Amino acid sequence: MPAENTSGEIALAAGAEDSPLLNLPYEIRLQIYGWVHAMHPIQHAQLAPWYPTPTYSSYFLKLVRPDAAEDPGVKRPVANDDDSDPQKRESRRAAADDDDEKAMLSPYRPLCGLPSALLRACRQIYEETRTLPFRSNEFVFVNWFSSGLWAARAFTRGLQGWQRDEMRYTRLEMLGRDFTGPALKEWVELCGCWAGGLRGLRLKILIGGGIFEPTASFASLNNNAEAQAMDISKFPEPRPEWIEEGLRRMGKLRELEVELCVLDWDDGQKIAWCESLETILNEGREGGAVRVRCVERLMEDRIFDKESSPRSHQEQGKSTFLTKSTIPFPLHNNRFTDKLQVKMGGHVTRGLTFTKRCFECFDMDHTYAWPLPVRLFAVFFITAFFINMHPDVNAFTKRVVWMGVYPFAILIGYASATIVRALLFIFIDGPEMIANLITRHRNRYRDLDVLDNLDVENNTKLNAIMGRLHATAPEEWTPGGRVFDKKYKPFLPAEKMNFAGPRQKKAMTRERNLSV
């Protein structure tokens, strides 16, 4: 042991020599690390049960093949070739699917991590295992409330330089508009972060649409910035900036699978687009060439049946391998692979779904996302609990709730008043105003009737005055002079006064005890 080593390093070396794990060959240790990594899937905590989260599952793709009549590479049947034999057609189709499976990027890559206890065991184990998750995992960034580009940028910003350089495989979903405007700068920076290590990229591009917008056809873009950036099959020059400053910066990139989502593009247009992209990427490229493949997604859900179940194939001698990061089915039986479109199920945690351990579990729901009635009840129960905990909490909660409810209450009140006033104007005031405007010239010279709205039949005093004024018999002289006449004469009955009825006559002719 060199003399300059400290006592701690000497003890560490002695501990490493005594460790059964570190005494194993390096290849066996890597195999053990790989199994530890596969047995620790990433499980994000679901902070809000009512918040929707995307589910992570294996993403199965297949190559987009041109029409057999147009593709010169497709073998055409000849006279001696018996194409009517279903077994031969099935075998050729299975062989073609097997070749595609081998040529494409694997959809079974895990999304797992290593326990921190293993990384902190010693420096040697840390150096041997720290790059394993970055090299084995496929990092997935999907469109969820925003483009996957922003999720990828947020993730890569938090990584150190050596971590970004060790990333090997990524699946990214983007929008066509992300290659223009302010998002283009983020894309260029993201490609710079992946330039030193990324080997395989599965890229999904949604052209002519958004996260919450209906997808539009490419023709409806009217040659805008998005259309000019994406139409590289017809106009490869000048090279778009998202290719020249973005994809071409990835010097280690070898496999690129592009899934184009365009309404009015057929398979031929998509294949031509990918071929143009491959030509642009490999022109003047130093190092290995990039293989660009046009792909499309397989069925999302694959169904088992009793005849083609994995167990029946295992009984026939076809072994399968089951881990948390792979899905067990043989690749050489096309009848089985057509039906085995299994969506990776299992523990749903913050948008992650992992493979179940047995085939009997495929019909079982292991999700713990709460249904809507349970969420509403939980929110109500939690709110009531905090209200009853303390008076200050009660007052604060009511204040917060009122701050949220008050604007809506005011809005509803004003809206209700507006509706009532509008109905009154439409059915009452409006027709009356229109009638007055129409008949205004007719009512101009009509005499004003001050008693129009008075109930003259039931007003005793008014009837007495009017009856006195309209009396026909001559009045006798009453002592008292003009003062008496002014004060009391209008209320005294005349001899031939016209009464409205017996009640009025009785009221006006009764004896009054007047003080002299």
pLDDT in tens, 410-463: 999 999 999 999 998 899 888 888 888 887 666 555 555 555 555 655 566 666
Please state the φ and ψ torsions of residue 259, each to the nearest 5 degrees.
-110, 110
The encoded tokens of residue 367 equal 């999700």
Give the per-residue pLDDT at 352: 38
Q: What is the amino acid identity at position 379?
A: V
pLDDT at 184 over 50: yes
pLDDT at 115 over 80: yes
pLDDT at 134 over 90: yes
Burial of 343-362, coded b for 16+ CB within 10 Å and e otherwise, reads: ebbbebbbebbbbbeebeeb
The encoded tokens of residue 190 equal 């993201």
Query: Which run of H or of E encompasses 170?
Result: strand 169-175
Q: By CB neighbour count within 10 A (0-12 exposed, 13-18 middle, 19+ buried), where does 228 fall?
A: middle
Per-residue pLDDT of 77-93, as tens digits, reads: 444 445 566 666 667 66
Give the per-residue pLDDT at 223: 82
pLDDT at 326 over 60: no
The encoded tokens of residue 378 equal 């939980």
To which residue do tokens 């031969």 refer? 88
Per-residue pLDDT of 213-251, as tens digits, reads: 667 788 888 888 888 888 887 777 788 899 999 999 998
Rounded Cα distance between 67 and 80, Å, is: 23
Query: β-strand 200-206 against 169-175: which pairing, if any?
Result: parallel
Mean of the per-residue pLDDT values of the chain = 73
pLDDT at 331 over 50: no
197 and 166 in contact (C-beta within 8 Å)? Answer: yes
Give the per-residue pLDDT at 33: 94
Q: What percent of the chain has pLDDT over 90?
A: 28
pLDDT at 321 over 50: no
**Average of per-residue pLDDT across 139-155:** 89
CA 497 to chain centre: 89
The total of other beta-carbon atoms located within 10 Å of residue 338's CB is: 15
Give the per-residue pLDDT at 16: 58
Query: Which run of H or of E encompasses 375?
Result: helix 372-389
Give the per-residue pLDDT at 439: 79
Q: Quick one: three-class SS letters along 270-336?
A: HHHHHHHHHHHHHCCCCCCCCEEEEEEECCCCCCCCCCCCHHHHHHCCCCCCCCCCCCCCCCCCHHH
Give the per-residue pLDDT at 411: 92
Three-state DSSP class for 205?
strand
Q: What is the amino acid identity at position 406?
A: Y
pLDDT grade for 51, boundaries at 50, 70 and 90: low
pLDDT grade for 169, boundaries at 50, 70 and 90: very high
pLDDT at 494 over 50: yes
Query: β-strand 291-297 against 61-63: which pairing, if any?
Result: antiparallel
Give the per-residue pLDDT at 152: 93
Per-residue pLDDT of 383-394, as tens digits, reads: 777 777 777 877
Question: Which positions ≥6 away from 80 have C-beta within 8 Å?
Answer: none
Rounded Cα distance between 286 and 416, Å, is: 71
pLDDT grade for 350, boundaries at 50, 70 and 90: very low
Query: Which run of H or of E encompasses 206?
Result: strand 200-206
Total residues found in the chain within this entry: 516
Beta bridge mates, 258: 203, 294
pLDDT at 345 over 80: no
Give the per-residue pLDDT at 391: 79
Per-residue pLDDT of 370-385, as tens digits, reads: 677 777 778 778 777 7
- Domain residue limits, the chain: 7-38, 116-297, 388-437, 460-509
pLDDT at 279 over 80: yes
Of 62-66, 193-197, 239-243, 483-487, the least confident: 483-487
Half-sphere exposure of 258 (CA within 13 A, CB side): 25
Per-residue pLDDT of 19-32, as tens digits, reads: 888 999 999 999 99
238 upstream amide cis, omega within 30 of 0 = yes
335 and 329 in contact (C-beta within 8 Å)? Answer: no
Of 28-37, 217-226, 305-314, the least confident: 305-314
Query: Model pTM?
Result: 0.54
**Average of per-residue pLDDT across 171-197:** 92
